[in-house]
Structure 1
């Protein structure tokens, strides 16, 4: 099926060019029912499904899978589809379209798993499951991992998971999933199952629990979690929380309280729960016994036009951004010709209210640390970082008041200096450090201006580094955290070289500016402003605004012709294209933690500084201290 980008769906515009692969009822207007499978057996329906969905995904499309190591992946969620399979009143086309959309988007969105939340059918009838089975065959043929659980309309709602055999179990029991790459097992009764899928470089466990788990069912789930002690767990179950119209904050149902007490509260690995059954949609955060957040979401659209149009929830996990972005769309309506959509269908393309399109901030590493702590990168010896060409390597791990030894062995030691009238604690030692910093220590600089106050470090008057002109290029890198104190630290200096443009015979721009300065603007933008050897004017590289209170790695690299700024090994934008070579010098000292104007300290640095290294040639990001 071709997805028509008619401007209604923002997401389709972002994915311009995406196409689908054909569905039952392509181009059909809402109201054209397709009860093609009524009264057939499961096996017959499967065979008929092969014919009826002749436009189903090709083998090539089925092979297009995502990247299990990418920090971004998608979990698809399919809530109550019961009105699509309601004796002779249903229509399988919407759900078929949803599944084919997921298959087609599998690689683009890195869709790793699909979870149905129960109430597949309306009346728990064999004929209804015969209608539903071939639609799920679409996923099976594409080898698209998925789970299904029983809702109260799929079985006798007055029973628990010890109810015995049912048409649901015959259709969606363990036999159906035994060839799935993610299927881990089921309870002996067959109504509770678990899956393990790989995404973002790790394994995730998803529980698909029955409408009413027995005590044995809950015990089984607890054991499954215990048997996978380092996996984050997503719980899917038909009933857990509900929300009232006008109040999207979800609340526990009576049964939801039992699920929380028996399974969720005491199992810190469960960080997200998904359920249907009730409507409208809603969500809430509750803290478990470990004091950690559990996100509880209800999603169900059966009350909406065309039985919910087989709307799907897409949970876009982004471990790089520590966010889950959630959207709700109807692929069946998206694939219809815009000119032929009904008025009601037009309003159901996607749901953009705050209960159906939202983001969940989630620090995955911190949230999972209780059961899967990430190993701390060990401190690395200085000798391992003194690579050929290292001119200076300073590790701020000694006592304040003492020299900071140049670990390169070239004698470019630093001496602490306090500006007149500055408190004695203007420089302080700290064990705080960037997680990828070789030394697990830093110094805190309590700098300020108007008047200049605080402390800094400087090389000796005769230090070899003072005379370096860097004709072959250079790499200067530092671990930095800007102060988050609300004060104005505009144009503070991180590293500068005494001497001005005028002192080296430069007449361009402002000759009173330093010959070299790495610092930050009033907008906390990194700035590298220098007088090169081969230019009469300053050359400036600009970065973007840095967040205060957060560690980052900063590097400026010159290959003898051009300079480039990097933050966290990412090349920034505003780097001059005009060639520049070397750094002018008067032979005066370097200052760490201060800048100057006309050779007078005008402001010291406010924040924390970790390791600093200067090398006499250009390094690749793979050679930086944080590599």
Structure 2
């Protein structure tokens, strides 16, 4: 059997049958002056391709079309910020490389409610008769000892004495020792219950006179006694007649401000101090302890 041979064919030069469409070629080059240029090849059959020898400038603005906006920059509030006011402005810096207007949207989620535990405050008013009457100190002691004994069961987080620790002003040491002994029971470990005391009109050298002495009050309940305690916030002036505490209970932040008793409205400077404390702690629940009844004299 004779072998069948396939006739050889010579590859013809590019003809219409083998014309190839070439995609539009864009070649960018930077001129010496930094202007972007491009050389274009026209889509055409392979044997009729014409290449433009002179590159043509291309607008950079046109080349940048469709670029994404720049990453926004947070302005306020700071990332991870805490203790924010109830009404907080949200602010970011957002820019577009092409200068196009942007629409900024903020997305939030409802914070899951935190199940909190009930807590209690204990208020001790006008204990002066316990310090002046025979046997009264035992009653005073039993009150504060009860607070210590039941602190865990009742979740007592703070004790506030609203003033008139003693009866006979700033001059009878025995009364002040009884008041000290009773109140210091709150400091007994492991309870160590936070507490504060207001200056009542019977705790001053002259009744209802904030300019008179409070020597015994500041001896036993002064700045030096409370400095370093986690809940003690600070004081006004040179003594502890006006002071404040900061506590947190079951996730609730609280500020307690104590203002000294006065036969007249408190001094403007003291009121400004107290007001500034409340203004600078907007996320804390505020309690003001003042021996005077509101709108009345002592």
Q: How many residues align?
A: 177
Which SS does the other structure have where 1:132 is aligned? helix
Structure 1 counterpart of 2:166, from 106, 121, 125: 121
Tell me if 1:204 matches 2:257: no
Corresponding position of 1:82: 128
- 1:499-538 aligned within 5 A: none
1:157 Cα deviation from its structure 2 partner: 4.2
Distance 1:116 1:225 in 2: 20
Relative to 1, partners in 2 of residues 1:168 and 1:90: Cα closer, same or farther, differing over 3 Å?
farther
Structure 2 counterpart of 1:191, from 241, 245, 265: 241
Greater Cα radius of gyration, structure 1 or 2: 2
Which SS does the other structure have where 1:108 is aligned? helix
Corresponding position of 1:137: 184
Distance 1:119 1:158 in 2: 11
Relative to 1, partners in 2 of residues 1:96 and 1:217: Cα closer, same or farther, differing over 3 Å?
same
Distance 1:164 1:95 in 2: 25
1:220 Cα deviation from its structure 2 partner: 1.1
Tell me if 1:221 matches 2:274: yes
Distance 1:160 1:76 in 2: 27
Corresponding position of 1:108: 153
Corresponding position of 2:293: 240
Task: Verify the 8 A CA contact 2:196 2:245 in the aligned structure 1.
Answer: yes
Corresponding position of 1:173: 222
1:214 Cα deviation from its structure 2 partner: 2.2
Task: Verify the 8 A CA contact 1:151 1:210 in the aligned structure 2.
Answer: yes
Task: Verify the 8 A CA contact 1:120 1:132 in the aligned structure 2.
Answer: yes
Distance 2:116 2:225 in 1: 29
Task: Verify the 8 A CA contact 2:232 2:244 in the aligned structure 1.
Answer: yes
Distance 1:160 1:215 in 2: 15
1:225 Cα deviation from its structure 2 partner: 1.0
TM-score, normalised via structure 2 length: 0.55
Distance 2:153 2:198 in 1: 27
TM-score, normalised via structure 1 length: 0.27
Structure 2 counterpart of 1:163, from 212, 215, 220: 212
Q: CA RMSD in A?
A: 2.2
Distance 1:81 1:132 in 2: 8
Which has the larger helix fraction?
2
Query: Which consecutive residues of structure 1, in runs of 5 or more, have no partner in the other structure?
Result: 1-68, 242-251, 256-276, 278-627
Which has the larger strand fraction?
1
Query: Which consecutive residues of structure 2, in runs of 5 or more, have no partner in the other structure?
Result: 1-114
- 1:38-77 aligned within 5 A: 70-77=116-123
Relative to 1, partners in 2 of residues 1:132 and 1:228: Cα closer, same or farther, differing over 3 Å?
same
- 1:396-411 aligned within 5 A: none
Which SS does the other structure have where 1:184 is aligned? strand
Corresponding position of 1:97: 142
Distance 2:214 2:196 in 1: 19
